[in-house]
Structure 1
Amino acid sequence: MPTKAAVRKTVIQRLTALSPADKVNQTQQLISALVSHPWWQAATTIGMTMSTSIELDTRPLIAQALAAGKTVTVPRTLPKRQMAFVALGPGVTFEPSTFGVDEPIGGQEITAEDHDLIIVPGLGFADDGNRLGFGAGYYDRYLAHYAGHTISLALAVQRFHQVVWPLTPFDIKIEEIISMQEDHHG
């Protein structure tokens, strides 16, 4: 079985090779599937990430959630690989983290209990809910103390029919993965 690092490298290469048009098309389909999902529709507070250029673009999703009157929270990293979600709104500004992700400065922190849904990012997603993250473990640590719903969106190149990376006891499964059907088997 390949290492997590090897699988991450493969997925990053696949994401980089994805044409912008194809990525936009897949992103629109995944967002459309998500916003019609009952968990999304019922949620009043949704946590999601500020995407990097390689990931599925979360900006249209954030815009849709805000337009629907939902509270949107985005994570800020804390020491010891912890993170807190901050509500978007007046007085919140952003600066890039050490990972190159825009992080909120200021704003109100929202507890895990006050979230109805968290859209969990990652690099690889298996059909059984296992997720390959970026390697720092922030989400696994956060989700260990979170009882609400979790959904991940997987572009075709991020979807795996079964887990092809080693699992650890700390890995937290995602409740539901909305994915594109892939053309190749990876």
Structure 2
Amino acid sequence: MLKNKLRLHYSHLRDLLTKEEQKEASIALANSSLSLPIWDKNYFHLFLSILEKREVDTSYLLSILQGRDKEVIIPKMLPDHQLEHYLLTDSTPLRANTFGIPEPLSGITVDPKRIEVVFLPLLVFDRKGYRVGYGGGYYDRFLAECAENTVKIGLSFFDPVEAISDLNEHDIAMDFALTPEASYQF
């Protein structure tokens, strides 16, 4: 299926989730992360959620990362569909951008090559590990800057589709994807 059709369909399905369903699924996703072979790593990149859009609530995953004394890096959107990456500390000031995404205003920037694990926002993914996001290409550009061995993990409320039919040369496959009911390795 084409990305645009998948984007529309799964955005609609996600909008139908109740706040309680969103919360329970987000907790299940965070708990599923504990079974992944990533906990020997130190630098974890995590997106902060837009809860009004029924995204996966990453605050539960953030609690796990902080409880395990991991360095958490969060993104800030820049012009030209680029991301800048900041170490999240107790003193990192955050403010929602025009899309409603909480972002750092300032702080310590981190080179993408240092990031060992990236948790990826997505709407849906396929059985080969490719994802459909919002279509801006921010994460595809970011992942191209990361080290080759960076572990890429998608977080989804929904099971995979068979295949995304309009992949391009910039699409980068994930290593893992988590849903509330299962984990997938690619």
Superposition TM-score, scaled by structure 2 size? 0.88
| Aligned counterparts of 1:83 and 1:114: Cα–Cα separation in 2 | 15
Matched residue, 2:151? 149
- Following superposition of structure 1 onto structure 2, how do residues 114-153 of structure 1 map, counting pairs within 5 Å? 114-147=114-147, 148-153=150-155
Q: State the alpha-carbon separation in 1 of the partners of residues 180 and 166 from structure 2.
A: 23
Asked if 1 retains the 8 angstrom alpha-carbon contact of 2:26 and 2:180, the reply is no
| Contact 1:127-1:177 at 8 Å conserved across structures | no
Amino acid at match of 2:41: A
The TM-score normalised by the length of structure 1 is 0.88
Match of 2:46 among 45, 48, 56: 48
Q: 1:162 aligns to what SS in structure 2?
A: coil
The corresponding residue for 1:20 is: 19
Q: Aligned pair 1:74/2:61, yes or no? A: no
For the Cα contact (< 8 Å) 2:26–2:60, is it kept in 1? no
The more displaced of 140-149 and 18-27 is 18-27
Structure 2 portions without partners, runs of 5+: none
Amino acid in structure 1 at the alignment position of 2:155 = L
Q: Structure 1: how far apart are the matches of 2:165 and 2:107?
A: 37
2:104 & 2:77 partners in 1: Cα distance? 9
Distance (Å, rounded) in 2 between the aligned partners of 1:35 and 1:86: 24
Specify whether residues 90 and 29 from structure 1 end up closer, same or farther in structure 2 by C-alpha distance, changes over 3 A only.
closer
Number of matched residues? 178
TM-aligned CA distance change 1:165 to 1:134, over 3 Å: farther
**Once the 2 structures are TM-superposed, how far is the Cα of residue 85 of structure 1 from its aligned partner?**
1.2
**Alpha carbons 2:32, 2:180 under 8 Å: kept:** no
Alpha-carbon distance in structure 2 between the residues aligned to 1:161 and 1:15: 15
Shift of 1:181: 4.8
Alignment RMSD: 1.7
Using the alignment, how far apart are the partners of 1:91 and 1:60 within structure 2?
Answer: 20
The percent identity for this pair of structures is 25
- Are positions 1:10 and 2:9 aligned together? yes
Q: Which residue of 1 aligns with 2:29?
A: 30
Q: Which moved more, 1:119-128 or 1:129-138?
A: 119-128
Structure 1 unaligned runs (5+)? Answer: none
- CA 1:165–1:52 in structure 2 vs 1: closer, same or farther (change >3 Å)? farther
